Structure formats: C-alpha cells, structure tokens
Structure 1
Amino acid sequence: MSLLRPPRRRRLSLTPLIDVIVLLLLFFMLSSTFSRFGEVDLAGAGSAKAGAGAPPLFLKLSSEAASLNGAAVTLDALAGRLGAKGEERTLLVSPSGDVTAQRLTDALVAVAGVPALRVVVLGGS
C-alpha cells in the first residue's frame, strides 16, 4: 500500500514580480516628459477688446510669405518690425487657407517676446 502524500507547496518567489515592477517603473519614467511645452497666448476674434490707443497692426500670413500692414516681412524680422513701443497694441493675424498649424505657431512664437502686444487670430480665408 502506498500512502499518498499531499503535494509539497513551493514557496512563491517574488523576484519575477519585482522585475516586472521595475520594468514598468522604468517604462513610465522614460516615456513621460517633465518639461512643459511652450505656450502661446492669443485671443480669438470674438474676445478682442476695442483699443482706444494706436490702430491695430495687420499680419497677413500665407504658407509662403507674410506681410505686415501690406509690406512683406519674414518671420525672423517680424518682432523687430513690431518694435518695443510703450503703448499696448493689437496684432491681427489673418492666416490664409493654405497655412499649416506649424506655420501659424511659428508666427505666434516670433511675436511672443514683443511687450504690450495683444495677438488676435482671425478666421482663415
């Protein structure tokens, strides 16, 4: 007669579980970003305030060119052309239909450093 012994219980090893936790921790640490993306402040055309000061500036933006108050300008020279005058001014940006979001963002970043400038983006034409 053979006596049946209950099966032996093996100790549960926590090493694979710890390995999985470390791998997950590394994955989430490496895939997340701690830097904030640049923010561009702008106002929609409906929220623009009528200013009693200087008349607004008009920037016509297309995929190939840009013009400030009718004069051709590059995005690199745009901030210099706007200047740093003390009074608050409004810049109306009118993107044409072929302007990409990146091109519009490049233009907004180019004017972001100009003090006392309120940027209003008009609907594309």
Structure 2
Amino acid sequence: MVFADQPQPRRKPSLTPMIDVVFLLLVFFMLASQFGLDQVVRLPLAAAGNGAQSYSGPPRLVTITREGLRLNGVEIALADLPDALQSLTDTLNDPVILRGQNAATSQQVLDVLGPLQAAGFTAVVLVE
C-alpha cells in the first residue's frame, strides 16, 4: 500500500507586516507634512478712552458676507475696495471698520484685510 503525501493546508498570509508598514508610512507622512501656514494679522489695539483715535469723516463700514462685500451698504468688488476707501478717507490712518456677518468665514475676512493693508490702511478695526 502506497500512501500519498497528504496535501498541506495553505497558509494564509500574515497581515501583520503590512499593517506595520502602513502604520510607519502614516507616521512618516504626518511628521513630514505641513498642515497649514500660520499667518499673523496685525490689528491696532486701542481701548476707548486710552488715547483711541476719534472717528471723523464719512462712514467707512465694510460688511463681509458669504456672497461678497458691501461698502456702506453698497455692493463692491474686492479689487475696487481700496480705491473706494481712499476717496472716503483723508489719510491712510483714518479708521476703516470691517464687520463679518453670520455666514462670513474668517478666511473671507483675511482676504479683505490683505488688500487693505497692502494699500497702506493702518487703522483697520474688526467688529462683530
């Protein structure tokens, strides 16, 4: 009587080394990546009564909404905002008030603040 070799059951591949490699790749990319850049926004901090600049001249209220911008209630494009504000101010040190409405994001506020500071406006006041 001849006995044939009994077939050996196939071994299932071990997933442990693959899980280790995936975990190491995850840790590597988390440590090597940069999630965001910090941006410093300089706003004048002056409390009322402590030498705060008085407001004079025509209103300069920039309202930031989800849909766009309004200067004193009139819709305006972001590219036209610095020129429109220069016609309402005597100097670039006159205060400009930024107000974000409920649906406005902080990124939209920063998108408006950048061109204003690039145009030379130094007294930008952010209100709720």
| Structure 2 length-normalised TM | 0.56
Query: Gaps (5+ residues) in structure 2?
Result: 1-31
Residue aligned with 1:92, SS = strand
Distance 2:73 2:33 in 1: 46
1: distance between equivalents of 2:90 and 2:121?
Answer: 7
User: Which residue of structure 1 aligns with residue 47 of structure 2?
Assistant: 47
| Counterpart code for 2:40 | E
Q: CA deviation at 1:122?
A: 0.4
Provide the TM-score with structure 1 as the length reference.
0.57
State the number of aligned residues: 95
Higher strand share: 1
2:77 alignment partner in structure 1: 74
Q: Give the residue type in structure 1 aligned to 2:61.
A: F
| d(CA) in 1 for partners of 2:82, 2:38 | 21
Considering only aligned residues, what root-mean-square deviation do their CA atoms show, in Å?
A: 3.3
Cα-to-partner distance string for 1:20-46 (whole Å, 9 max, x where unaligned): xxxxxxxxxx868xxx865332246x7
Distance apart, 1:56 and its partner CA: 4.7
Structure 1: give runs of 5+ residues left out of the alignment: 1-29
Asked if structure 2 preserves the Cα contact closer than 8 Å seen for 1:82 and 1:114, the reply is no
What displacement does 1:118 show? 0.6
| Mapped partners of 1:70, 1:41: distance in 2 | 26
**More contact order relative to length (CA 8 Å, sep ≥ 6):** 1
The percentage of aligned residue pairs carrying the same residue is 21
